[in-house]
Copies of this chain bind each other. A is one copy, B any other.
Amino acid sequence: MQTTPSFSPLYSQIKALILRSLQAGEWKPAEAIPSEMDLAVRYNVSQGTVRKAIDELAAENLLIRRQGKGTFVATHSARQVQTRFLRLAPDSTGADENNPGSDTYAENGKNILVDRTITTCSRERATKDIAKALQLKTGDPVVYIQRVLAYRDGKGQSIPTILEDIWLAGNSFKGLNLERLAESKAPMYAMFEAEFGVNMVRASEKIRAVNPTPEQAKLLKVKLDEPLLRVERIAYTYNDTPIEVRTGLYRTASRHYKNDLQ
């Protein structure tokens, strides 16, 4: 438990080891990892040192601690975090203000408050820009997906609100096609982790205000002069590996992008 380049604290080395196990799939999303005492024995350090390593991973949302139960691998399937990376919230109409995510995916197949329509799903070759963002070479295989999310308003009207163009690193999503996408009722990131073992861990977004192109306007059923939020996201798995590029166009007439600054 040494080989220190300049200086790396023990707990930080333990953290790296745990991270390696997560990456290798030794413990899968939603599963419990070994107890602190077990890990302390395994790595031959004190419980306190393991604790600090886990603390950091928990702070980064890679692990979830639950007192009395254990420490679990974070998952996008858990009801509470299904929209972890989607910051578009309904303007507070008093309806479900204190019920985050309630408007997205329902318990059963019936009462769904969001309609997801996939307009495209094809295997393509990375353009220069996409390749750069995904740390691939131009021409490397990617999966391209386009879809529209529509939310039901109070009267049950379905209002197209989000248009997304998605590019995935092809090698990590072999066998992904329109059928498998369409039949999945879970959020996309939950499906990625369940079916492809790809866990999205972190993302960065760049946001601008734009007008839609004619094609985009048609898909979202908005006028050409409607201002829209353009959200460019790069999502990463473990070890800061970029694996998805996603550009979203958001209508913000009755919703807003929510952000907390500290």
A residues in contact (CB < 8 Å) with B = 59-61, 84-85, 87, 202-211, 225, 227-229, 232-233, 250, 252, 256-262
Contact = CB atoms under 8 A, between A and B. Distances in A.
A209 B225 contact: no
Contacts of A260: 202-205
Contact of A204 (B228, B233, B259): B259
Given A227-B210, A227-B228, A228-B227, A205 B87 contact: no
10 contacts: A87-B261, A202-B260, A203-B260, A205-B259, A207-B207, A208-B252, A209-B209, A209-B210, A225-B225, A232-B256
A245 B87 CA distance: 21
Nearest to A212: B227
Nearest to A251: B209
Given A60-B262, A227-B228, A257 B85 contact: no
A249 to B, nearest CB: 9
A252 B209 contact: yes
Contact of A202 (B204, B211, B250, B261): B261
A202 B211 CA distance: 32
B227 A257 contact: no
A205 B209 CA distance: 16
Contacts of A232: 256
Contacts of A229: 207-209, 229
